[in-house]
Amino acid sequence: MSETTTTRPKLYNRILYPLLEFIRAASFSGILLMVVTIIAIAWANSPWAESYAKVWSTPFTIALGDYGLTKATILWVNDGLMAIFFFVVGLEIKRETMVGELSSIKGAAFPVMAALGGMIVPAGVFVLLNLGDEGLSGWGIPMATDIAFALGILTLLGNRAPLSLKLFLIAYAIVDDIGAVLVIALFYTSEVNFLSLWIGFLLFGLLLIGNALRMRNIWVYILIGVIMWVAFLKSGVHATIAGILLAITIPGRSKISEEEFVSSTDEVLEELRISQQAEMSDPDTNPTDEDYQGAVYTIESNCEEALSPMHRLEHALHPWVAFAIMPIFALANAGIAIDANLVENLNAALPMGIILGLVLGKPIGILMFSWIASATGIAAKPTSFNWLQLIGVGLLGGVGFTMSIFIANLAFADSPMLPLSKLAILCASLVAGIIAYIILRYAGSRSPNRTDTV
């Protein structure tokens, strides 16, 4: 048996199966987001448009005794539900850096370089067009990539999009997410309440200590994480950062090793086999139901200990984020009342900075930095996809949507520029997605590698 054959199960168990599950969920989520976005726009421009605004502006209170928080429904979505979204993003980042595409310098170099280009160039395009204008604060908008939407478009291509291309997209989009989180934390923060901020970081430190002491009770992390979220909410630093910080503290290692799991489970199964054989050879032997149930519970316990809290939480929360939180966010934020004045202003500096940043800046930046990495020997382009496919995936990076709208909300909250920036994001995402689909459909038909698709 070759070395490749013997190491294959570990590769599939630890990396590929969770990744395929992630791709499938994100892909269907992207298609769902498209449908929900259309519904939101239709609702906001229908005779029932007033009800759209009323639903999301309705105050909602969560209280415990004399203490409580009252916010408009849309703020609970953008500050609360999106904190869970960022928590899952943080878990995905941590998984990728531990066992995924970003776990080694060699594997991470190419997508990291691509992501840097995909952030720097679009932001530069936006700044050049908005330098000196009041819309300059939106420079972070075209830096973002929506993984769900992008994977949804790749799914429509079927076997024309090799798995290696999807892995590259996920890897650079996750680095993109790291950049977006840093931008939000450093540049989209209002006046800071330092007492609340220090309380938040103190709780973060306690969770890091708990991780170092191998504390594995997920509910302790969640409880302290909720309090940390409230502290960041009160601090002026955007509350969703608490989600990323909480994800960093979640233990990523299993309690027992792979060998211990296999050995212990085999022992239990062997005892059950011996018991079964004894019953077949001697009818008077009557194993109790408690023996069977005990064996099942032992195997269940082994499974829980073999999975790290990080993997368990990501597995449990990702469907909720993909099929509930992100669609709710889209429904709450994509409903733009489109009128003639809004459309006429699409050629202004702010929307053009967003559109050109996403549609041109993204693919140019990704292609340019990828070529530099390849030409200088910093990293090698995977041979399983060609440069034309890389341009197509670079255009998919221009599908900003969720992250771009989120940053737009921070940059232009309660400003007349917010609807205009959202319309520009939707237009750019639509154009980038269509062009990417056409390029990848053509490039995929010429791809020599079609066997590794999902």
Instruction: Return the pLDDT at 204.
Output: 94
Q: Is the CB of residue 336 less than 8 Å from the CB of residue 419?
A: yes
b/e string for 223-253 if b means 16 or more Cβ within 10 A?
Answer: ebbeebbbbbbbbebbbbbbbbbbbebbbbe
Spatial distance between the Cα atoms of 90 and 272, rounded to a whole number of angstroms: 41
| Parallel/antiparallel/unpaired status of strands 59-64 and 67-72 | antiparallel
**CA 344, 428, 319, 11: dihedral to nearest 10 degrees?**
-170
Q: Is the CB of residue 73 less than 8 Å from the CB of residue 60?
A: yes
Phi/psi at 68 (5° precision)? -165, 170
Tokens of 269: 């199964």
Nearest to 26 by CA among 166, 130, 128: 166
For the stretch 373-420, pLDDT in tens is 999 988 888 888 889 999 999 999 999 888 899 999 989 987 889 999
Summary mean pLDDT of the chain: 83
Burial of 19 (0-12, 13-18, 19+ CB in 10 A): buried
Q: Is the CB of residue 436 less than 8 Å from the CB of residue 390?
A: no
Distances (CA, A) of 395 to 146, 152, 213, 364, 433: 12, 14, 44, 9, 7
Tokens of 174: 């996750």
What does the angle CA 42 – CA 45 – CA 47 come to, to the nearest 5 degrees? Answer: 105
Spatial distance between the Cα atoms of 169 and 349, rounded to a whole number of angstroms: 29
Cβ-based neighbour number of residue 330 at 10 Å? 26
Helices of type H across 213-348: 218-235, 241-249, 258-281, 289-306, 309-320, 326-333, 340-344
Instruction: Return the pLDDT at 282.
Output: 60
Instruction: Return the pLDDT at 138.
Output: 92
pTM of the model: 0.79
pLDDT along the chain (454 residues), means of 10: 42 50 63 88 92 90 76 88 89 81 77 93 96 90 86 77 81 85 81 87 94 89 93 84 91 78 77 70 59 74 79 87 88 88 90 96 95 90 87 92 90 89 94 92 60 40
User: What does R_g of the chain's alpha carbons equal in angstroms?
Assistant: 25
Instruction: Return the pLDDT at 278.
Output: 65
Q: What H or E segment, with its residue span, contains residue 59?
A: strand 59-64
Spatial distance between the Cα atoms of 144 and 179, rounded to a whole number of angstroms: 8
Instruction: Return the pLDDT at 169.
Output: 87
The separation between the first and the last C-alpha atoms of the chain, rounded to the nearest angstrom, is 27
Provide the residue type at 285 as one letter. T
Nearest to 453 by CA among 381, 382, 363, 385: 385
Q: Is the CB of residue 75 less than 8 Å from the CB of residue 135?
A: no
